[in-house]
Structure 1
Amino acid sequence: MRVLGIIPARGGSKGIPGKNIKTLGGKPLLYHTIDAAKESRLLSQVILSSDDAEIIDLAKSVGLEVPFVRPAHLATDQSGSLEVVQHALNFFVEKGEVFDAVCLLQPTTPFRESGSIDKAIQKFAENSFDSLISVREVPAEFNPHWVFEADEKACLQIATGENEIIKRRQDLPKAYFRDGSIYLTKTDVLLKQHSLYGKRIGYIVSKGERFVNLDTPEDWIKAEKMLNENKK
Structure 2
Amino acid sequence: MSLVALIPARGGSKGVPRKNLALCGGRSLLDWTAEAALHSGVIDRAILSTDDDEIAEAGRALGLDVPFLRPADLAGDAALMLGVLQHCLAELRRAGATIEAIVLLQPTSPFRRAHHVCESVARFRETKAQTLVSVVRVPHRYVPEGQMREKEGRLFPYFGGGIGRVTRQDKERLYARNGPAVLIVRSSVLDAGLLYGDVIVGYEMDELSSFDIDTPEELRLADHLLRTGYVR
TM-score by length of 1: 0.90
Amino acid at match of 2:123: K
Alignment partners' CA distance in 2, 1:148 and 1:3: 44
Number of equivalences: 227
Alignment partners' CA distance in 2, 1:114 and 1:6: 14
Say yes or no: does 1:5 pair with 2:20: no
Alignment partners' CA distance in 1, 2:172 and 2:228: 32
Alpha-carbon offset, residue 112 of structure 1: 1.1
Alignment partners' CA distance in 2, 1:188 and 1:7: 20
| Aligned residue in 1 for 2:145 | 145
Q: Which runs of 5+ in 2 are unaligned?
A: none
| Aligned residue in 1 for 2:194 | 195
| Aligned residue in 2 for 1:105 | 105
| Aligned residue in 2 for 1:79 | 79
Equivalent residue runs for 1:123-142 within 5 Å: 123-142=123-142
Q: Which moved more, 1:166-175 or 1:63-72?
A: 166-175
Alpha-carbon offset, residue 177 of structure 1: 1.0
SS across alignment from 1:13:
coil
| Aligned residue in 2 for 1:16 | 16
The answer to whether the Cα contact below 8 Å between 2:145 and 2:166 also exists between their aligned partners in 1 is no
Alignment partners' CA distance in 2, 1:32 and 1:108: 9
The answer to whether the Cα contact below 8 Å between 1:113 and 1:206 also exists between their aligned partners in 2 is no
The two structures, once aligned, show a CA RMSD in angstroms of 2.2
Change in CA separation of 1:155 and 1:142 when aligned onto 2, cut-off 3 Å: closer
Alignment partners' CA distance in 1, 2:75 and 2:49: 10
Equivalent residue runs for 1:15-164 within 5 Å: 15-148=15-148, 158=158, 163=161
Change in CA separation of 1:170 and 1:7 when aligned onto 2, cut-off 3 Å: same
Q: Which runs of 5+ in 1 are unaligned?
A: none
Alpha-carbon offset, residue 218 of structure 1: 1.2
Q: Which moved more, 1:129-138 or 1:201-210?
A: 201-210
Alignment partners' CA distance in 1, 2:155 and 2:94: 55
TM-score by length of 2: 0.90
Amino acid at match of 2:171: L
